[in-house]
Amino acid sequence: MWRRGKEQGWRPVRGEPVVLRGWNVIDLRFAEGTAQSRMSRWSPDRLVVDYTRTMLAALRHVPEPRQIGIVGLGGGSQVKFLHRYLPSARLEVFEIDPAVLALRETFRIPPDDARLQVVLGDAALELPRRPAAYDLLLVDGYDPQGIPPALSTPGFYRACRASLREGGAVAVNLYATEHARHVAYLRAAFGERQVVVLEEPRQSNRVAFGFVGHPPRPPRPPALRWWGRRALRREFARLDAVWPGGAD
């Protein structure tokens, strides 16, 4: 979720997701001026929005994840990117809103297969049932009011930590929210020195990372296909600059 200026012709709807189509992009919206997701019509698995790339900088810490958990499907930007460029990983996605799931084909999200499962359910309830299940966890769960209360508690961040294996990482998108409170919960769950935050210069977003342990030594390049590594090279460098655990 991120914010731009008002779009001409916008008509607010009571909390229901709305699809806005431009000549080159398709947006998923919950509120006026606030985009939940954006897809390129010509390259549907390209990460158009800055913070979606920043979250995947966590692959510097977890270069070869076998299991990835994702909280919030939206338009499936990261799901499509990872499904195409990280074929060695299995993705489990939690989405609580059936109206969002109904737009899966509109946003060209692949069907479930051996590498992808989309679950209709509440991540706040599901994560505690999955101890040490994931190598990487991506949290981008929003409703029309922002981050839901169930995803805004110390217990939720403890569940995030418990769902990760040793050497794992979580990346959390914090948009227009009480980010300091969420970062404090992350630090309580992961440890003061195991959490870093990257600001998004062009958006009202910041991405918080929580790390379990340290990355492999010597560092290994992420197991992404070449184009995927190229798409994230700037984000890898940004994370390396603020977290000494991520680079030599």
Q: How far is CA 218 from CA 4, 45, 248, in A?
A: 41, 30, 8
Q: What mean pLDDT comes out for the span 197-221? A: 86
Please tell me the distance from the alpha carbon of residue 147 to that of residue 208, in angstroms, as a whole number.
14
What is the pLDDT confidence band of residue 31, given thresholds at 50, 70 and 90?
low
DSSP helix/strand/coil, 136: strand
Do residues 243 and 236 lie in contact, with contact meaning Cβ atoms separated by under 8 Å?
no
What is the pLDDT confidence band of residue 7, given thresholds at 50, 70 and 90?
very low
Residue in the structure block whose two tokens are 């994931």: 134
Q: What mean pLDDT comes out for the span 24-53? A: 87
Please tell me the distance from the alpha carbon of residue 230 to that of residue 203, in angstroms, as a whole number.
22
Q: What mean pLDDT comes out for the span 139-168? A: 94
What pLDDT digit, counting tens, does each position of 63-78 carry?
Answer: 999 999 999 999 999 9
pLDDT at 243 over 90: no
What pLDDT digit, counting tens, does each position of 177-187 carry?
Answer: 688 999 999 99
pLDDT at 245 over 70: no
